[in-house]
């Protein structure tokens, strides 16, 4: 078995794969103050609660957009699992051609999503990731990453709204019964859910227009992908495990044991 870690600004997502099959997945809050021992104790407890023996994990791979945690999680894997994880860094084979101004600016999570998306859905392709930021990745008919869009994230936008006002409460991000809210909570939910649905639909349509083709598969991933995808017609697939499956593919592509 192998373990895959996707270290994001808000959450760290884990998955354990037995060959190609997903054994388990979970997420924990990202906290740069935690030590490798704290993360390790948490990991071992969760693995055992899911019936996974840590000794059966023989390899791992990490994708990170939080450099402060790279060493911490690498040390955790070494100490608690006895594995030295691969890291998504320059030199790791991805098979992805980056046709952008500066390839080093492309986040690790976007690279992994592109790799997984191409393998699962082919090209041309648009991948919308509802993470800390809302990102749009565009791959042309050759499967080359030609750029995209970075917009504010859903949770961050809500946090900004709440923190920047004196009386607005923190609300659950879920679809209200109607676009016209009858109270403060449903007013806010309408603005967030339908506002982001409109943003995604408009941007996807603009991308397809620039590509001069309508037959572009669009995949949504990330925590709020299901909520938004239900409101619009431009999303063809919701795939919440896309990033972790991309890490699995890259591990086997680069591992000497593969």
The span from the CA of 221 to the CA of 238, in Å, is 6
Neighbours of 93 (CB within 10 A): 8
The span from the CA of 161 to the CA of 4, in Å, is 34
State the sign of the Cα–Cα–Cα–Cα dihedral 97, 101, 102, 107. negative
The span from the CA of 108 to the CA of 121, in Å, is 20
Q: Which of 109, 129, 140, 159 is catalytic?
A: 109
φ, ψ at 9 (rounded to 5°)? -70, -30
The span from the CA of 154 to the CA of 161, in Å, is 11
Nearest to 204 by CA among 181, 223, 180, 229: 229
209 burial class (0-12, 13-18, 19+ CB within 10 angstroms)?
exposed
DSSP code at position 98: B
The span from the CA of 215 to the CA of 196, in Å, is 23
129 is catalytic: no
Which sequence positions are flagged as catalytic? 109
């Amino acid at each position: 078995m192998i373990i895959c870690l996707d270290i994001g600004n808000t959450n760290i997502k884990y998955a354990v794969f037995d060959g190609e099959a997903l054994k388990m997945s979970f997420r924990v809050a990202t906290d740069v103050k935690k030590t490798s021992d704290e993360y390790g104790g948490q990991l071992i407890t969760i693995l055992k609660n899911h019936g996974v023996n840590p000794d059966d994990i023989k390899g791992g791979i990490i994708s990170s957009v939080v450099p402060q945690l790279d060493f911490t999680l690498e040390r955790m894997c070494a100490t608690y699992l006895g594995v030295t994880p691969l890291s998504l860094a320059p030199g790791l084979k991805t098979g992805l051609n980056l046709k952008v101004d500066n390839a080093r600016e492309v986040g690790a999570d976007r690279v992994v999503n592109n790799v997984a998306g191409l393998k699962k859905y082919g090209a041309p392709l648009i991948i919308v990731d509802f993470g800390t930021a809302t990102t749009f990745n565009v791959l042309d008919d050759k499967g080359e990453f030609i750029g995209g869009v970075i917009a504010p994230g859903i949770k961050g936008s809500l946090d900004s709204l709440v923190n920047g006002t004196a009386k607005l409460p923190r609300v659950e991000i879920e679809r209200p019964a109607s676009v016209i809210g009858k109270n403060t909570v449903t007013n806010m939910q309408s603005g967030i859910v339908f506002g982001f649905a409109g943003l995604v639909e408009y941007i996807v349509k603009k991308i397809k227009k620039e590509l001069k083709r309508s037959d572009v598969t669009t995949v949504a991933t990330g925590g709020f992908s299901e909520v938004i995808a239900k409101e619009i017609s431009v999303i063809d697939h919701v795939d919440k495990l896309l990033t972790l499956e991309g890490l699995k593919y890259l591990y086997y592509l680069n591992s000497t044991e593969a």
